[in-house]
């Protein structure tokens, strides 16, 4: 019996896939009959390592490095991916934080920041999504098939006091995806978001100093554990598959119950 999560040879491009959630999404796609996976990361060596993992599992992968905030670089990456695999059917906008070097540990109160710091958060989390969608959507529209998945944060749904600009950028990405869903739906292209709470990734490692602090944090979660990259990858695989062909314009929290909605 055919799995409803079989990707049927569709080709996926995952940004920020050199580690953490993006890496696991890329591996999930490869394990479920993707026709190929384009592994994007700012750092070429990280992308190459994940592409090697996929090939060792019997999948097809292409490692391409670029900064998603640079539209020309994104367009060039997309052209190279399409030349290699012939198409891009699934786009996962996973690249996040404030770029490749600034993590969540570098944050300051909003009133101590300025436009240069805002640019970093907005660039990766909002403009990066716009750039990748702009480069990939025309081919999807032409072929009358596409899946666009953007990884946002619960910060974009409920707000985080120490991450005000990040919250705004993620909320903006979610709003863009809702508008895009309405624009491309008649061409059989869907657009959805996945909203995350705390996930065990290299970017989060080291932010929690001790077990007592972790216990306090987990009191805010209904399911009292941190998320794992596979929790997110499971939802991404579902949204990329034909099992989700009648779902678009939605945001799915994968958050252990950190926040709940009606």
Task: Say how far apart CA 59 and CA 62 lie, in whole Å.
Answer: 10
Please pick, among 127, 166, 252, 258, the residue that the annotation labels catalytic: 166
Token couple for 51 = 């592409």
- Helix, strand, or coil here: 7? coil
DSSP state of 227: B
Write 212-221 long-range contacts (CB < 8 A, 24+).
220/258, 221/197, 221/255, 221/256, 221/257, 221/258
For residues 243-258, b (16+ Cβ closer than 10 Å) or e, as one string? ebeeebbbbbbbbbeb
- Whether 166 is catalytic is yes
Give percent helix, percent strand, percent coil of the chain, each to the nearest 5: 50, 15, 35
Token couple for 172 = 């903006």
E-strand ranges in the chain read 11-14, 36-41, 61-65, 90-93, 146-153, 189-196, 251-254
**Catalytic positions:** 166
């Amino acid at each position: 019996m055919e799995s409803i999560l079989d990707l049927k040879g569709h080709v996926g491009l995952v940004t920020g896939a050199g580690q953490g959630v993006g890496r696991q999404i890329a591996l999930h796609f490869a394990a479920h009959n993707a026709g190929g996976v384009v592994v994007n990361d700012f750092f070429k060596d990280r992308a190459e390592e994940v592409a090697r993992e996929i090939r060792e599992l019997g999948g097809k992968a292409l490692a391409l490095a670029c900064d998603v905030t640079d539209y020309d670089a994104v367009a060039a990456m997309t052209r190279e991916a399409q030349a290699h695999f012939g198409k891009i059917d699934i786009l996962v906008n996973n690249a996040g934080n404030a770029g490749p070097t600034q993590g969540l540990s570098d944050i300051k109160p909003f009133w101590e920041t300025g436009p240069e710091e805002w640019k970093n958060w907005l660039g990766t989390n909002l403009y990066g999504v716009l750039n990748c969608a702009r480069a990939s959507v025309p081919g999807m529209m032409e072929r009358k098939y596409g899946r666009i998945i953007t990884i946002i944060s619960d910060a974009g749904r409920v707000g985080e006091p120490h991450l005000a600009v990040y919250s705004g950028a993620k909320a903006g990405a979610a709003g863009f995806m809702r508008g895009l869903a309405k624009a491309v739906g008649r061409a059989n292209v869907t657009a959805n978001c996945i909203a995350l709470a705390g996930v065990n990734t290299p970017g989060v490692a080291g932010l929690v100093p001790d077990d007592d602090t972790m216990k306090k944090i987990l009191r805010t979660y209904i399911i009292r554990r941190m998320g794992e990259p596979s929790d997110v990858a499971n939802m991404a695989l579902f949204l990329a598959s034909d099992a989700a062909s009648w779902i678009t314009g939605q945001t799915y929290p994968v958050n252990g119950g950190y926040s709940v909605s009606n």
